[in-house]
Structure 1
């Protein structure tokens, strides 16, 4: 089964880090990804840019609306993700607990569900 580990961090957190702290966090996350890859469970991993580069799109009744980031009401952002293969949610939760990001933000575990055509 596939699970998504979402790295959910406070919006202002990246801006408070020094360049050295940012590099160290990235090094730790890359090392974690390498560990998952060596175990044969990593499907994909990506870091996401800040919300200032984001856009929200809705299309209700043919009325397309685009709101460019940053989003004033947002307190958290998805900073990145790991897509992993696990037998159980407990196994995915254990891997999330190993993620270095769990030391400075939240790692949310989500099971990938079927898409219906």
Structure 2
């Protein structure tokens, strides 16, 4: 089953805390997941100042600079993994390096039955 592990962290803490993981550590963990056959995809995101939020209300498109909500932590990246069950997904998520300075939200992926072209 696929699980999405969303990496949340205060952007400043993620890059400046003594416990902050370095890119090399994150790359090594992603490589180990890939080698185990558990990594489907994963990416880090650009800083929140590059975010744009899009909403459609009453047929009107609204575009706002920045993340969708004012929060202490921001979405910093994701790992899409393949795990036997939620317990294994949690074990994998607990080893994602930014978990030391933020949090990892683990959510099962709901497969969409979309016909291929």
User: What's the TM-score, normalizing by structure 1?
Assistant: 0.85
Counterpart position of 2:8: 8
Asked whether 1:75 is paired with 2:108, we answer: no
Displacement of 1:13 in angstroms is 2.3
User: Which blocks of at least 5 consecutive residues in structure 1 are unaligned?
Assistant: none
Superposition pairs of residues 1-117 of structure 1, within 5 angstroms: 1-14=1-14, 17=16, 25-69=22-66, 73-115=70-112
Stretches of structure 2 that go unaligned for 5 or more consecutive residues are none
**TM norm structure 2:** 0.85
In structure 1, what is the Cα distance between the partners aligned to 2:67 and 2:112? 30
CA contact (8 A) 1:45 1:80 kept: yes
Q: 2 CA distance for matches of 1:55 and 1:99? A: 26
CA deviation profile, 1:88-114 (whole Å, cap 9, x unmatched): 000000001111111111111111013
Deviation at 1:65, TM superposition (A): 0.6
C-alpha separation in 1, matches of 2:83 and 2:30? 15
- Cα deviation, residue 61, structure 1: 1.2
Once superposed, which parts of structure 1, at least 4 consecutive aligned residues long, lie more than 2 Å away?
11-14, 70-74, 114-117
Secondary structure at the aligned position of 1:12 is classed as helix
Instruction: Work out the number of aligned pairs and report it.
Output: 113
Which has the larger share of helix?
1
